[in-house]
Amino acid sequence: MRSVTLPDGRALAYEECGDPDGVPFVFMHGIPSTRMAARMIHAAAVRCGVRLIAPDRPGYGHSDPCPKRTLLDWPTDVAALADALQLLEFGVLGVSGAVPYLLACAVAMPQRLTHVAILSGLGPLREPGVMDGMNRETAALYRLALRSPRLGRVWMTMLAATAKRSPLLVYRQQLSYLPEVDRAVFDNPELRTLRLDDFAEAFRQGVDGASWEARLHMTDWGFGLEDVGLDVFLWQGELDRHHPVAMGRYLERALRGARAVFAPEVGAFGFVGRMDSVFEQLLDVPAHGRELAAAARPA
């Protein structure tokens, strides 16, 4: 684990995995999660020549909190991290609740991004029909939080307290919501341990980071999906019950440059065992950030 000092004095923690000489991607974790989630795809990144730079967002893991931050504050942190690593251009890749953070970067700094990729993405939750096919327990919690942000915070606080006391209990509860194809992913003891450690790390500083992000996700993002001018690669498992196909289809329609892959017979974590193919499909698309940004600049 390393860190950089941001212009406002905060520490931003990150770690690297994959091929250190590979194509650079900033990996963005879900909610609640941390930089450690990138380790799930380390081996595939090595094989495919991808360098993963995985920061903890503010309030998670070892990154300092940033009270009252907005989604559009995140690109500034990412740009500072890239500057510290002397990266002029890079891709962004994220999972689940990372969607608004990836897209905020695409809106705020398109000229620096070579690729934008979403795996098992959790998009805007207020759109009609996007929770169709979601497991009942998760959908009920999201609807509760949408109706009452205060109750949403209570839910996240209880989750954090339980996770700090017994991460295994929360892990088993979450696993019970998954289809069999996803539960089978965690038959691998290394992945199971990683998932537990990542969950505990997410609440190292308490609940504030995760609860604020839950609020950000469920309120206005500060930009529209129509504002995203870059191509976006979407990968979605057809058996995913946390981020159902209806969510993926909505993102595919709403993002004008979307290129979607809907993988049959796999769920939310199906990408873990298929990352070689995912990276190959992703890297097969020519880098586009520079060209699109140049076209958008005034003469």
User: Residues 6 or more apart from 22 whose CB is under 8 A from it?
Assistant: 45, 46, 48, 49, 50, 51
Q: In the chain, what percentage of residues exceed pLDDT 70?
A: 95
- Tokens in use for 139? 């959908």
Task: Kindly state the DSSP code that residue 1 receives in the 8-state scheme.
Answer: -
Residue 180 and residue 209: Cα distance in Å, rounded?
Answer: 31
pLDDT digits (tens, 9 = 90+) for 98-142: 999 999 999 999 999 999 999 999 999 999 999 999 998 889 888
Q: CATH number of the domain at 174, please.
A: 3.40.50.1820
175-229 confidence digits (pLDDT tens): 887 888 888 888 899 999 999 899 889 989 988 898 889 889 988 999 999 999 9
The whole-angstrom separation of Cα 140 and Cα 147 is 11
Q: Give me the domain span that covers residue 289.
A: 2-296
The residue written with tokens 């976006």 in the block is 232
The number of beta carbons lying within 10 Å of the beta carbon of residue 258 is 18
Residues 6+ apart with CB under 8 A from 283: 23, 48, 50, 115
Whether the pLDDT of residue 173 is over 50: the answer is yes
Half-sphere exposure of 226 (CA within 13 A, CB side): 0
The encoded tokens of residue 232 equal: 């976006």
- Based on the structure, what is the number of domains in the chain? 1
Return d(Cα 6, Cα 253) in angstroms, integer: 36
Distance CA 118, CA 227 (A): 17
Give the pLDDT score at 94: 96
Distances from the Cα of 125 to the Cαs of 143, 151, 286, in angstroms?
9, 16, 31
